[in-house]
Structure 1
Amino acid sequence: MLRIFAAIVLALVAQAGLAKGLTGTFPSIDGGTLSVEEWRGQPVLVVNTASQCGFTYQYDGLQALYDRYRDQGLVVLAVPSDDFNQELSSAEEVKEFCEINFNLDLPMTDITHVRGAKAHPFYKAVRETTGFEPKWNFNKVLLNPDGEVVSAWGSAVKPQAPAITREIEKLLN
């Protein structure tokens, strides 16, 4: 009986934590920090990226998505990661690469771990609350304005895919 009560209490505590939404402060590629909490009230698409990946062309789609919806409140956050050994060696190189090749102006973090024991606390929280962990570069996690995970997609789902834009539009309306 005590075990059942403890399990119920743990479930309620977990639900209460989810109601607050995910948080996380990342070092910005431009210096300073970027906080998911600062964007509370807005949908946020968080994408782990890499400069030397077969999916790197998706930067174009991420920028186009950001351009299309940013005035309505969407934030697209790029999180460069070398967890799959496909990122340049420094944040400066990543920033220059993205500016020259993709003309990016969306928010971008410094190079960050997204999986495993060294994963950033944001990604650990996503894994703990949803079971989702990036399996490769350009995995996408959509947060609603309360900071809760709405959906997540793998690398093969392009940023402007209807599955993603439908979810974003629901959150913006």
Structure 2
Amino acid sequence: MESVYQFTVKKTNGEELSLKEYEGKPLIIVNTASKCGLTPQFKGLQELYDQYKDQGLEILGFPCDQFNNQEFDNIEETTQFCQMNYGVTFPIFAKIDVNGNNADPLFTFLKEQKRGILSKTIKWNFTKFLVDRNGQVVERYAPNTEPDKILEDLVKLL
């Protein structure tokens, strides 16, 4: 059975990381942007992380510049922005594409597992995917879904 654990992702320093590192943990995987109207969702994501990380929750943030160029060019600026403005301590990875020919394979998989309302395509920043402890995508949330609205589904996985 395919799962998110079959993928590797790039850390901000360019090193590859196998998602097997997160095996057995519920995940929220989200494409982020630092200069977006939805950027304040970092606060809600961090609150979820703070509240549930001891129960295994991991949040994986993937900066994306595909929607109106709302991400810094330099990944260090991105991570500093997230830490300074929202106290983000969950992992932020290297900038990726989530749609198109250069879409990151992880996000291609996520989109295949859970379509959006009208298509597989990710429509905007802060599309969130909830993944169970077996690496299976159980839900996809629209960009405007606030992190606290995921709570009911998340608690079932903890």
SS at structure 1 position matched to 2:147: coil
Q: Secondary structure at the match of 1:20?
A: coil
- Tell me the distance in 1 between the aligned counterparts of 2:121 and 2:135: 17
Alpha carbons 1:49, 1:137 under 8 Å: kept: yes
Equivalent residue number for residue 155 of structure 2: 169
CA distance in 2, matches of 1:70, 1:133: 29
1:20 equivalent to 2:6? Answer no
Taking the TM superposition and a 5 Å limit, the aligned residue runs for 1:46-61 are: 46-61=29-44
Aligned partners of 1:123 and 1:133 also within 8 Å: no
Aligned equivalent of 2:91, options 107, 113, 125: 107
The separation in 2 between residues aligned to 1:133 and 1:37, in whole angstroms, is 25
* Shift, 1:73, TM fit: 0.3
SS in 2 for 1:68: helix
**Structure showing the higher helix proportion among its residues:** 1
Aligned pairs for 1:104-143 (under 5 A) are 104-131=88-115, 132-143=120-131
Please provide the CA RMSD for this pair.
1.4
Percent of aligned positions that are identical: 39
Task: Note the alpha carbon deviations across 1:65-120, whole angstroms, 9 max, x for none.
Answer: 10010000000111111011111111011011111111211011011111121110
Q: Provide the TM-score with structure 2 as the length reference.
A: 0.90
How far 1:157 sits from its partner (Å)? 0.5
CA distance in structure 2 between the partners assigned to 1:69 and 1:30 by the alignment: 27
TM-score (norm 1): 0.83
- Structure 2 segments unaligned to the other structure (5+ residues): none
Contact 1:90 1:111 in 2 (8 A): no
Conserved? CA contact 2:75–2:95, under 8 Å: yes
What is the CA-CA distance between 1:20 and the residue it aligns to? Answer: 3.2
Pick from 33, 38, 49 the counterpart of residue 66 of structure 1: 49
Compare CA radii of gyration and give the structure with the larger one.
Answer: 1
Indicate if the aligned counterparts of 1:126 and 1:133 stay in contact, CA closer than 8 A. no
Distance in 2 (alpha carbons) for counterparts of 1:103 and 1:54: 18
Secondary structure at 1:55 match in 2: coil
Structure 1 residue identity aligned to 2:132:
N
SS for the counterpart of 2:76 is helix
- Of 27-36 and 59-68, deviating more is 27-36
Match of 1:149 in 2: 137
Is 2:25 aligned against 1:39?
A: no
**Contiguous gaps of at least 5 residues in structure 1:** 1-18
Contact persistence 2:114–2:140 (CA under 8 A): no
